[in-house]
Amino acid sequence: MKTQKALFIINPKSGTTQKKGVPALLDYCLDSSKISYEIFYTQYAGHGREIAEKEKNNYHMIVAVGGDGTINEIAGPLINSETTLGIIPLGSGNGLARHLKIPLNTKKAISLLNDQHSKKIDTINFNNDIFVNVAGVGFDAHIASLFAESKKRGFLSYGMLALQEIIKFKSTGYRLIIDGEEKIEKAPFLISIANSSQYGNNAHIAPGAEISDGLMDICIMQKIPFWYYPSLIFHLFNGTLTRSRYYKTWQGKEALIHLLEDAEKKSIHLDGDPYPLKEDIKLSVNPLSLKVACKI
């Protein structure tokens, strides 16, 4: 195999895992006859995107070391390029890595890069942005916004925050149009647009989603009564959410989410990172637009 040049972009703030040991593991796990590498550390939000944009033509592979938000930043500039995205999952949920069956063990994830195997996956346009895993509006975006402001990280902290907010959350009205066909006008609890099957931590919001099929899975959840919470959690983590009467899903290539009422102080999230919701949302799939290092 030809020796490939790789750039590892490390987000020192993502997830709960310390990143200090990563350079030593790279030296230990990477086969120097197959991969030569350099390391950059991000210093602020958006820095990973800037580095990837600047360096994408100088490396065969750019590796995101962090969570889904870090992957989102680095993936954007690599869309429709020959540069492969590598993933070392060190975030809170690691939804994309789990879907692609990239090992969560850091040593194994690094060693996988030695194989130099890759596959092409879809990405999704979200107005002027992109995402690669899951985006959405409603309750999940609300929690993502609060979680971003919290000093506590990890799945337990996220779960506790969701339990605190779920009763008092108020839905916003939307119109959902998929491939020209109108689907709903109600105010759903959440609308998720899924490229992969899960948020992270094996919470499967779109159990049937395939990441290379040229389609996005658009899922809605209606407000549920308190007594249904245990069943919802079971379905979410057991991959059986389609059995819930409060859940619907469709597939499509293009979609529009039109705001029916004032969305002030509402949020969207792209791969777990929150942004203010200011306008209608236009979505379209970029089929097989990103090369990712993973098992074939």
- In CATH, the number for domain 4-116 is 3.40.50.10330
Per-domain residue ranges for the chain?
4-116, 129-287
Mean pLDDT, all residues of the chain = 89
pLDDT attached to residue 262: 57
Q: Which listed CATH number (2.40.70.10, 2.60.200.40, 3.40.50.12280, 1.10.760.10) goes with 129-287?
A: 2.60.200.40
pLDDT attached to residue 149: 64
Query: What does pTM read for this prediction?
Result: 0.90
Which of 93-97, 223-227, 247-251, 265-269 bottoms out in mean pLDDT, i.e. has the lowest? 265-269
3-state secondary structure the chain: CCCEEEEEEECCCCCCCCCCCHHHHHHHHCCCCCEEEEEEECCCCCHHHHHHHHHHHHCCEEEEEECHHHHHHHHHHHCCCCCEEEEEECCCCEHHHHHCCCCCCHHHHHHHHHHCCEEEEEEEEECCEEECCEEEEEHHHHHHHHHHHCCCCCHHHHHHHHHHHCCCCCCCCEEEEECCEEEECCCCCEEEEECCCCCECCCCCCCCCCCCCCCEEEEEECCCCHHHHHHHHHHHHHCCHHHCCCEEEEEECEEEEEECCCCCCCEEEECCEEEECCCCEEEEEEEEEEEEECCC
